[in-house]
Amino acid sequence: MKMTIGEIASAINAKTDGISEKSLKEETSGVCFDSRKLKEGQLFIPLAGEHDGHDFIESAIKNGAKATLWASDKVDRLPLAIPALVVDDPLAAFQQLSRYYLTKINPRVIAVTGSNGKTTTKDMIAAILASTFHVTKTYDNFNNEIGVPYTILQMEPNTEFLVVEMGMDRPGQLDFLSKLVQPDVAIVTMIGEAHIEFFGTRGKIADAKMEITHGLKEDGLFIYDGDEPLLVERAKNLTMAKTTFGRKSTNDIYATETHDSQYVTSFKVNLWPEMDFKIPLMGDYNVNNALAAIAVGQVFRIHPSLIEKRLTQFDLTKNRTEWLVGKNGEKILSDVYNSNPTAAKEVLAAFQETPTDGRRIVVLGDMLELGDQSKQMHASLAASIDPSQISQVYLVGEDMRALYDRLKPVFAPENLHHYAANELDQLSTDLAGQLKAGDEVMLKASHGLHLENVVAKLVAAGTD
């Protein structure tokens, strides 16, 4: 994002009292809301969170901030070293600026949400479109009211497609994000139990996911899992064009002849039955994500051979079914960005099918935001853990104790372990002392458990 300070001020209706005409003509090179990561020439966005961003203005100035937004109720602390654009609410102004910039660049917008698979689907879509167009996609997990505007403002002026991931943990969130980006294509990958604590039922989760269509352009397209009755029922009310994907032949796009291996999943598609598609991921469940991406490629007339090629080599966001090598030579399946019962069961099923010369070891952390049914849902994972395939189980967190109790009758005490959420250092030490070349270890948990820290210690001396 390159805009003059004056253009930014005009876009967000900011007060510019005391700012010289010369300063208003100076150009910013981007935006940043973390003063520690700010780069020379950027606009600082002081947001309120655990800490007030206004308290870090000196750090931002030291790191080269060109200008800053500034809350009107804090003008008694107005910085003098750089231009300060005064607004009522810096977050709202940040969002307004992103909308202005999106309109200015005017790319096609692809919006993706879902209980599982939205990040993988986003990565696949971006790879397919990048075969032909200039594409910007959501970085990492920047998928909320802060992350989506930030993604927009990272676009280069030549961006033709913006592929934006949208997360959700409460009603109304996707309504806001969808209306902010006004997508040309909106996608729901699937409906699971994620955040059921706040919604109560899968039906209400589906209602909230459908909010992604609230900003969908009238001539836009809704792509969704046609095997999910909750989505099929709700999609009937949409006047926009629709495309379904799934496994049943009643879908517009469906997979046939799927084959899952440790590092690659292959399948065929009804549209081009002679072609073999491969994705560099284990797990049959990832085929649906690929089908949604293929649907986008088809809409924008990407040649099937390019779709096939890009799916084979797309870049996957870190910590999502990512194979690594540990310091003892063990293979590590890191899937620690997030977790819910559906996702955990799918990964467990795929992991237990992987070939190995050693042992398979599972590390599972709490799945958060499951509400009153949380302990029951944790315990339900027991049916997906086969003692003849899994040698040891390590469980982390208070709710995982329910699974621990359920597994006691089928695992010897020395092969079943439980740790509190604050005992990750001990878990890392115990695992490092246990693992050896030929073993495979799978780690999965909600991000709030921070099992990525365990993964980092296991691979500290390894390679990926």
* Domain-located, residue 421: yes
- Tell me, rounded to whole angstroms, the distance of Cα 291 from its chain centroid: 18
On whether both 190 and 282 belong to a single domain, the answer is yes
pLDDT reported for residue 298? 97
- Calpha distance 376→85 (Å, rounded): 51
pLDDT reported for residue 373? 87
Is 113 strand, coil or helix? strand
180-191 tens-digit pLDDT: 999 999 999 999
Task: List the CATH number of the domain containing 403.
Answer: 3.90.190.20
Q: Is 117 annotated as a binding residue?
A: yes
Q: How many domains does the chain have?
A: 3
* Domain-located, residue 70: yes
* Domain-located, residue 463: no
* Domain-located, residue 40: yes
pLDDT reported for residue 234? 97
Q: Of 395, 457, 440, which is closest to residue 421 (Cα–Cα)? A: 395
CA distances to 86, 101, 347, 363 from 356, in Å: 61, 51, 16, 17
Instruction: List, as one string, the DSSP characters of 148-192.
Output: HHHHHHT--TT--EEEEE---SSTTHHHHHHHHH--SEEEE----
Question: Among 128-132, 318-322, 363-367, 458-462, where is mean pLDDT lowest?
Answer: 458-462
Binned at pLDDT 50, 70 and 90, residue 196 comes out as: low
Do 152 and 102 meet the contact criterion of CB atoms below 8 Å apart? Answer: yes
Task: List the CATH number of the domain containing 44.
Answer: 3.40.1390.10
On whether both 81 and 158 belong to a single domain, the answer is no
pLDDT reported for residue 371? 84
pLDDT surpasses 60 at 464: no
On whether both 357 and 242 belong to a single domain, the answer is no
- Calpha distance 144→269 (Å, rounded): 33
Determine the average pLDDT of the residues in 435-459: 94
267-301 tens-digit pLDDT: 999 999 999 999 999 888 899 999 999 999 999 99
* Domain-located, residue 93: no
On whether both 24 and 69 belong to a single domain, the answer is yes
* Domain-located, residue 213: yes
What is the sign, positive or negative, of the torsion defined by CA atoms of 377, 378, 382, 384?
positive
On whether both 194 and 332 belong to a single domain, the answer is no
pLDDT surpasses 90 at 261: no
Task: List the CATH number of the domain containing 295.
Answer: 3.40.1190.10
**CA angle, 272 then 277 then 282, to 5°:** 145
Query: pTM here?
Result: 0.86
Q: Is 116 annotated as a binding residue?
A: yes
pLDDT surpasses 70 at 106: yes
Domain-ending residue, one of 35, 56, 87? 87
Determine the average pLDDT of the residues in 103-115: 97
Task: Give residue 437's domain range.
Answer: 322-458
On whether both 132 and 224 belong to a single domain, the answer is yes
Do 142 and 151 meet the contact criterion of CB atoms below 8 Å apart? Answer: yes
Joined tokens for residue 453: 């820290």
Helix or strand (DSSP H, E) at 321:
none
Binned at pLDDT 50, 70 and 90, residue 319 comes out as: low
* Domain-located, residue 265: yes
- Calpha distance 279→267 (Å, rounded): 9
* Domain-located, residue 96: no
On whether both 140 and 240 belong to a single domain, the answer is yes
Determine the average pLDDT of the residues in 347-362: 93
Determine the average pLDDT of the residues in 109-118: 94
On whether both 351 and 251 belong to a single domain, the answer is no
The number of beta carbons lying within 10 Å of the beta carbon of residue 202 is 16
Determine the average pLDDT of the residues in 405-434: 96
On whether both 304 and 335 belong to a single domain, the answer is no
Binned at pLDDT 50, 70 and 90, residue 170 comes out as: confident
Binned at pLDDT 50, 70 and 90, residue 49 comes out as: confident
On whether both 175 and 298 belong to a single domain, the answer is yes
On whether both 302 and 381 belong to a single domain, the answer is no
pLDDT surpasses 90 at 212: yes
Q: What is the mean pLDDT of the chain?
A: 94
On whether both 226 and 253 belong to a single domain, the answer is yes
